[in-house]
Structure 1
Amino acid sequence: MWQLIAVTLVLLAVLVSVFRYSLPYANDYKHDLEVLINEQFDVDLRIGSITASWEGVGPALVLENVTFDDNNNSPIRLRIDNTSLQINVIESLRFLQLRSDYFVLEGFAADVDLNALDISTQQSDTEFEQQALIESLFLGESGHFAIKNSSLNLTMRNGKEHTLLLEDVIWQNNVLAHRGTGVVGIPGLTEGQLSADLLLTGKTLAELAGEVYFQASQVDLQDWLSPYLDENKQDLHTDINGQMWLSLAHGKVKNIQLNMKPSHIHWQQNDQAQQLSLMQAKGLMLPSESGWSLQSSEINFTRNNLAYTDISIVAELAERQSVWFKGLDLPLISEFIQLTNLPNTDLIAELAPEGALQGKLEFQAKAAPKVWLYSDKLKWQYARGIPATEPMRLEMNAIGEQAVIELSAQQGQLHTADMFAKPIAYEQLVGRFDIYKFNDHWRVTSDSIWLDNEDLTLAAEMQLRLLEHPELDLYVEVKGGNGKIAKNYFPQTLMAESLINYLNDAIKAGQHLGSQVLLSGKLADFPYIDKTGRFEVLSELTQAEFAFAPEWPAVKEAAATLHFVNERMDIYVDEGKLINHLSMAAYK
């Protein structure tokens, strides 16, 4: 008996010695190892090269550039740049299989096409070699290994691609469960940390169940966002924190939960620290018949500790994606816009819009996106000739590059700064505007602008062409009013001060029959002294009392026409009384 044991030990020592001294020639046995792996795992692969050395009590192998013959036909394509493993000689001889206590996969890449992959069945005709290898590797009853500098690339059912970087993950199998923990990443994120913790059960992908947990800690999105950010915002960076859970059952995702922790955007402005924060947000995604449904709650933003209205979102994410939202504050939208390099952000800041939006967004492949927005308390401040408003109702419907905006308000005022002598009151204000793209530029048109107050009624139509130098065509008709209130409606920024003073002194009384206003040309060239555009006002008065000059007697009961063309004014008096005598006609 002892002799048998001694002989066995000697033979084992000889085998180990032979194996040890043959390690430098391991690459010569590359084909044999490929055959061995095929017999053990039923996988056809190609090994680029093998290097080997003796470490501790056993040999260590390094396999480089491992590819799989079935990659072109499989929904799972695998590549391995480098895998190093230490052979357990005793266990390998005992089970007559290649056994390793621990190995490292580096440069491991798995490209998974979810459109072609069907893990809902275990029929052999739906399995691929790569799937069998993954199940043996990750879902076996034993195994302890590391994954470094690797990636999981998913092609979703809608054709979009997403990549998860496996930077440093440790995987451990046992008969009860499979556990993976470590650091993961997303391309383009260089600051902060994303960690993962997986606890799974099941021997095949179709049986997979358990929980997948991700945590983001102090993640900076600045590299992602930099192409869209305002360069004048100094030291801008983000601090994103949150958690996500994926629950799995029968090889499919059962639900996804999202819990955002306080996250911030920091920047410097006028040498002062600024901060826009997402204080919390929760969301739950559930599978539906055609895709996924999303419901959120408690989405709360603050700006330098000033809280905005909570936002809620409900979405259906399928072939046709629909998103409903409410409680979206316009000042919050304005804050985000100020951080971007979009055009006219300074104008939006000056307007300082207020109010909350609700709306619906729809997206579908090969179809123009649809947008519906609504607010019943929209207002903004005066800026660059745009009157300030009191709360009004807004509704917008847009399809692709065409939109219709409807505005309406009652019992308020338009605050025009220095344009008119006092705010323009209205009992009713209505406007409908069409926005569309034409020959690579945007146009805003309307044939339905209406204002009514106790003095007068105004109707207007317009077209604004947003070229490099914007052009405006505007036509306005005004009815009602009298001479005593005329001074309140002279556009002080469009008319010369001397002309306004003259008219205020000259018009003593009278009824306003109507006025027509025409403006056409480049806005920058107004008042069109060089005749590149046209500004014209034609007003009809009756029973007017008009003093042409201080030393002249006033014309009374006159029928008069005032005609402004650019900077020229003509006054026509068709009839009237001058010192109690009938005057036939006059012209000034």
Structure 2
Amino acid sequence: MPKRLKILASPISYLGCSVIIALAILLSLLRLILPQLDLEPLREDIQALVSETAGVPVQFEQVNVKILGPHLALVLRQVDLMDEQGRETLLRVGEVRVDLDLVGSLLAGEIRLGHVELRDTRLLLVERSDGRIELQGGLTSSASGQGDLRLPFLRHSSLRLLESEFYWVKESGSVPPLRIYDIDMELRNRGREHQFILRAGLDSKSRGEIRLIADLHERGGKQLLLDGQIYLLAEGLNLAHLPAALQPAGYQVGDGALRLQLWGDVEQSRLQQVTGDWELRDLLISGGEPIQHLGLENLSAKIDWRKLPQGWRLDLNHLTLVRNSRLWPPGRYSLEWVRDRQAVRLRAGADYLSVKDVSEFAALFLAPDAEAFKVLLGLSPQGDMSRFRFALDLPDQGPPRWQTRGRLTSYRHTAWQQIPGLEGLRLEFAGGDQGGRVWLESDQFSADFGDLFRTPLQASRLKGELEWHLRPGEMLRLSSSHLYMKTPHVETLSRLDIQVPLAGGVPLLDMQADFWNGDGAEKSRYLPTRIMPPELTDWLDRAIVGGQVTAGSFLLYGPLDRFPFTGQEGRFEVLFGVEQAVLDYMPEWPRIEEATAEVHFLNNSLKIRLYEGRLLDSQLTTGRVVIDELDRADEVQIRVSLEGPFNDAARVLGETPLKAHFERFLKQLKLGGECRLSLNFNVPLLESKPFRFNGVVDLENARLGVEQWDLALESVEGRLIIDQHKLQGQDIQARLFGESVQVNVLPQTDADGPRSRVEIALPLRVEQLQRQFPQLAGLPTHR
């Protein structure tokens, strides 16, 4: 270094060190002196200066001066920001530090204040009913709470809040205030441009963090109105630690992690649009009576909220939901609320809804004694709904009006009370409060009528339309003019009309159906076992072996709770024809086969008319099966008329349980020819009821022989009367040995049991008897 520079640097260095040492000594003296400095005589001047700078009256309890780093600052404690009249406290601050702008003060020739820092502050953010958000005073403010603190804060070039709290309050008071702790907030102002930066945690137990940045521009005019943008980021929030303000009343959020990122536009201090995205993981909500639990593995969506001239609209795009390891297809969901001069209007739409998830979520928030809760719990509906739309108008005058439409697939619900369980339905619906229409279709349909039938009714094809007509508060009417169903065993085409009273009462059903191509062997699936005694059900299972249902019709009209209408309150009627029917009416009795029949259910009774058929080798000409009271059936009445071999009559007596009485007698006879046979059975269904049987055998040109005596009656004409104990007949005409004879069959009883004695009256010479019976040789020869 040149010598001259060294000579010059030495004094400068000495001077600089001296200045630094002097400043250090001065600062040390100030640190010692300032705490001892009594500023009380200057209180009014300081209070006036601070009030002028803040733009509102300011009061404080203590004031002193501190050196904070290189700055000299006023420190005010227990500070109250007052309204313009100085009557109400707008804000209570524990400590306010105000930097003294020394350079600015020297240049301006007056004291100027700089950066402001507030500690231990409580602020109140009020969400107005019109959507505006206002900053108001702390806990010491009066009940009116109408002061606006935005102006004082916006008067400083730089302001920071530390160790403070926020309370978020809805003007409606619908939820408790939300408390926000550990706030680090900074406000930067440049004329009418303002930047707000906030970092805080939700509740003292929350592990999450909230960041908020707002760039706002102050409009001109007397009223303070702001425009600008807002950014919010909330991540790592554990919903289990959320304050009660964000939890539904009476319920507990047991778990869940939330991430939320939003951008908002503000005009005239009102939110105009909010966009962003959110994700919620592992949510668990518990509550209700009895306690219920609802969990979600994941719920995420992109948010687009917009303010409308008279309401707002929310769109959730690319929404995905995972619950019970089942993924909802990503889709769009929308909700719109508008309040105009005439009504409140609500519009909703969803690309997809899980009926099971929605119903369980709704049931969680319904009262246990609510009818809707009971219905959802009882039916347990499931299915996939798509293209759902709903519109609701709540006019100031008149009843609500609504419209809806959508598509439902894989729908099912369990049987509950008088509502049958349904499964496998696809349907589309469109309508509203006055009425609408449902299009039904299924390739694998099942209907469970509870204990009315043994098993659910199955259909391989279902198609039709169902209309509804609604009189609010009075009646819901469901009707269909064309409902086709095909099962593996029958095809049906139905028309129905159901009237459901909405004010209480029993539904009235009017249903008509035609059916064809039925399989009688499958009748057990369709027997209404609930209204029949088990003994009757067992008999029908065994007795109706098979048959082809050609065609039939069905009618059900009346209140459903009075079915099967034993008091004639309605009408239940089923009428159908059967071919190739097989009736196995009693064990060990010959079956009626190849029958053509007409089956007729009428209310509580059953009648079967037989027109053709076969029993043994006889042709059935007519017959009927009657059950007078299905719900109290104790016997089945069977009447048949047959034409066929005379030998069939003997088989009825000798090859059935009646053989104990007739077998010995019939073994001695040889029968031939034709007869007409009428048989009556009373088949008992209860052990206490006896079996009853009787019949009539009309002989036409029949033949009856006694092999032991080589005796044959020819051209037998007459009637035999039979029952389970005896056989009898009188004045039966026949020919014996070429002569006309009269035959009587008389019942007798001896020690061995019932007997039948045959008496034959005829004129006969002894020679004829001796020729026929050689053992009679030697008898006198007279008549």
Pairwise same-fold verdict (TM > 0.5): yes
Kindly provide the amino acid, as one letter, of the partner of residue 457 in structure 1.
L
Alignment correspondent of 2:602: 563
Tell me which of 232, 239, 264 is aligned to 1:220: 239
Tell me which of 468, 482, 497 is aligned to 1:461: 497
Instruction: Indicate yes or no: 2:102 matched with 1:102.
Output: no
Deviation per CA, 1:179-227: give whole Å up to 9, x if none.
32122659xx975545132142535555643443231432427855554
Answer yes or no: is the 8 Å Cα contact 2:34–2:66 preserved in 1: no
**Against the structure 1 CA distance between its residues 497 and 212, is the aligned structure 2 distance closer, same or farther, given a 3 Å change threshold?**
same
Separation in structure 2 between the aligned mates of residue 514 and residue 282 of structure 1, nearest angstrom: 56
Kindly provide the amino acid, as one letter, of the partner of residue 390 in structure 1.
G
Separation in structure 1 between the aligned mates of residue 185 and residue 95 of structure 2, nearest angstrom: 14
Answer yes or no: is the 8 Å Cα contact 1:460–1:475 preserved in 2: yes
Kindly provide the amino acid, as one letter, of the partner of residue 423 in structure 1.
Q
Alignment correspondent of 2:467: 432
Answer yes or no: is the 8 Å Cα contact 1:298–1:312 preserved in 2: yes
Deviation per CA, 1:328-354: give whole Å up to 9, x if none.
3334435535755544444454x4x22
Separation in structure 2 between the aligned mates of residue 90 and residue 216 of structure 1, nearest angstrom: 39
Answer yes or no: is the 8 Å Cα contact 1:414–1:424 preserved in 2: yes
Instruction: Indicate yes or no: 2:97 matched with 1:86.
Output: yes
Separation in structure 1 between the aligned mates of residue 233 and residue 89 of structure 2, nearest angstrom: 24
Kindly provide the amino acid, as one letter, of the partner of residue 167 in structure 2.
S
Deviation per CA, 1:308-345: give whole Å up to 9, x if none.
21121245554445333213333443553575554444
Answer yes or no: is the 8 Å Cα contact 1:382–1:415 preserved in 2: no
Tell me which of 44, 52, 56 is aligned to 2:62: 52
Alignment correspondent of 2:749: none
Alignment correspondent of 2:779: none
Deviation for aligned residue 1:116: 10
Instruction: Indicate yes or no: 2:331 matched with 1:311.
Output: yes
Deviation for aligned residue 1:446: 1.7
Deviation per CA, 1:1-51: give whole Å up to 9, x if none.
xxxxxxxxx9xx99997743559xx7xx6xx888766655554x6x7x742
Kindly provide the amino acid, as one letter, of the partner of residue 326 in structure 1.
D
Instruction: Indicate yes or no: 2:310 matched with 1:300.
Output: no
Instruction: Indicate yes or no: 2:284 matched with 1:266.
Output: yes
Answer yes or no: is the 8 Å Cα contact 1:147–1:170 preserved in 2: no
Alignment correspondent of 2:303: 283
**Against the structure 1 CA distance between its residues 260 and 40, is the aligned structure 2 distance closer, same or farther, given a 3 Å change threshold?**
closer
Separation in structure 1 between the aligned mates of residue 305 and residue 194 of structure 2, nearest angstrom: 26
Tell me which of 468, 475, 478 is aligned to 1:446: 478
Kindly provide the amino acid, as one letter, of the partner of residue 420 in structure 2.
I
Deviation for aligned residue 1:160: 9.2
- Of structures 1 and 2, the larger Rg is shown by 2
Deviation per CA, 1:75-109: give whole Å up to 9, x if none.
xx983244532355676976446667422372333
Alignment correspondent of 2:186: 171
Instruction: Indicate yes or no: 2:550 matched with 1:514.
Output: no
Kindly provide the amino acid, as one letter, of the partner of residue 360 in structure 1.
R
Separation in structure 2 between the aligned mates of residue 161 and residue 380 of structure 1, nearest angstrom: 38
Answer yes or no: is the 8 Å Cα contact 1:396–1:406 preserved in 2: yes
**Against the structure 1 CA distance between its residues 394 and 195, is the aligned structure 2 distance closer, same or farther, given a 3 Å change threshold?**
same
Task: Please report the TM-score for the alignment, with normalisation by the length of structure 2.
Answer: 0.54
Kindly provide the amino acid, as one letter, of the partner of residue 496 in structure 2.
A
Separation in structure 2 between the aligned mates of residue 435 and residue 70 of structure 1, nearest angstrom: 63
Tell me which of 264, 279, 282 is aligned to 1:246: 264
Tell me which of 350, 357, 360 is aligned to 2:386: 357
Unpaired stretches in structure 2, ≥5 consecutive residues: 1-28, 68-73, 135-145, 287-292, 340-344, 367-372, 629-636, 638-783
Q: Which structure is higher in RCO with an 8 Å CA cutoff and minimum separation 6?
A: 1
SS in 1 for 2:157: coil
**How high is the sequence identity, in percent, across the aligned residues?**
9
Deviation per CA, 1:209-258: give whole Å up to 9, x if none.
344323143242785555475x9xxx843322221122457866564222
Instruction: Indicate yes or no: 2:535 matched with 1:498.
Output: yes
Task: Please report the TM-score for the alignment, with normalisation by the length of structure 1.
Answer: 0.69
Separation in structure 1 between the aligned mates of residue 326 and residue 578 of structure 2, nearest angstrom: 58
Answer yes or no: is the 8 Å Cα contact 1:82–1:108 preserved in 2: no
Separation in structure 2 between the aligned mates of residue 105 and residue 363 of structure 1, nearest angstrom: 48
Alignment correspondent of 2:17: none
Moved more, 310-319 or 334-343: 334-343
Deviation per CA, 1:243-278: give whole Å up to 9, x if none.
11224578665642221134221379xxxx995233
Q: How is 1:135-214 mapped onto 2 (pairs within 5 angstroms)?
A: 135-138=151-154, 140-146=156-162, 148-151=164-167, 153=169, 167=181, 168-173=183-188, 175=190, 178-183=195-200, 191=206, 193=208, 195-203=210-218, 206=225, 208-214=227-233
Alignment correspondent of 1:328: 353
**Against the structure 1 CA distance between its residues 493 and 432, is the aligned structure 2 distance closer, same or farther, given a 3 Å change threshold?**
farther
SS in 2 for 1:309: coil
Separation in structure 1 between the aligned mates of residue 465 and residue 577 of structure 2, nearest angstrom: 29
**Against the structure 1 CA distance between its residues 183 and 467, is the aligned structure 2 distance closer, same or farther, given a 3 Å change threshold?**
farther
**Against the structure 1 CA distance between its residues 130 and 481, is the aligned structure 2 distance closer, same or farther, given a 3 Å change threshold?**
same
Alignment length (residue pairs): 527
Separation in structure 1 between the aligned mates of residue 420 and residue 35 of structure 2, nearest angstrom: 89
Unpaired stretches in structure 1, ≥5 consecutive residues: 1-9, 72-76, 120-128
Answer yes or no: is the 8 Å Cα contact 2:78–2:95 preserved in 1: yes
Deviation per CA, 1:430-482: give whole Å up to 9, x if none.
3334577648xxx75423375324633222233456899x8444332222337
Answer yes or no: is the 8 Å Cα contact 2:578–2:596 preserved in 1: yes
Instruction: Indicate yes or no: 2:428 matched with 1:394.
Output: yes
SS in 2 for 1:79: strand
Separation in structure 1 between the aligned mates of residue 625 and residue 217 of structure 2, nearest angstrom: 102
Kindly provide the amino acid, as one letter, of the partner of residue 426 in structure 2.
M
Answer yes or no: is the 8 Å Cα contact 1:155–1:162 preserved in 2: no
Separation in structure 2 between the aligned mates of residue 267 and residue 295 of structure 1, nearest angstrom: 24
Separation in structure 2 between the aligned mates of residue 461 and residue 266 of structure 1, nearest angstrom: 44
SS in 1 for 2:600: strand
Q: How is 1:464-475 mapped onto 2 (pairs within 5 angstroms)?
A: 464=500, 471-475=506-510
Alignment correspondent of 1:540: 575
Answer yes or no: is the 8 Å Cα contact 1:315–1:324 preserved in 2: yes
Answer yes or no: is the 8 Å Cα contact 2:545–2:582 preserved in 1: yes
Answer yes or no: is the 8 Å Cα contact 2:467–2:479 preserved in 1: yes
Kindly provide the amino acid, as one letter, of the partner of residue 243 in structure 1.
Q
**Against the structure 1 CA distance between its residues 521 and 348, is the aligned structure 2 distance closer, same or farther, given a 3 Å change threshold?**
closer
**Against the structure 1 CA distance between its residues 33 and 134, is the aligned structure 2 distance closer, same or farther, given a 3 Å change threshold?**
farther
Instruction: Indicate yes or no: 2:458 matched with 1:423.
Output: yes
Q: CA RMSD in A?
A: 5.3
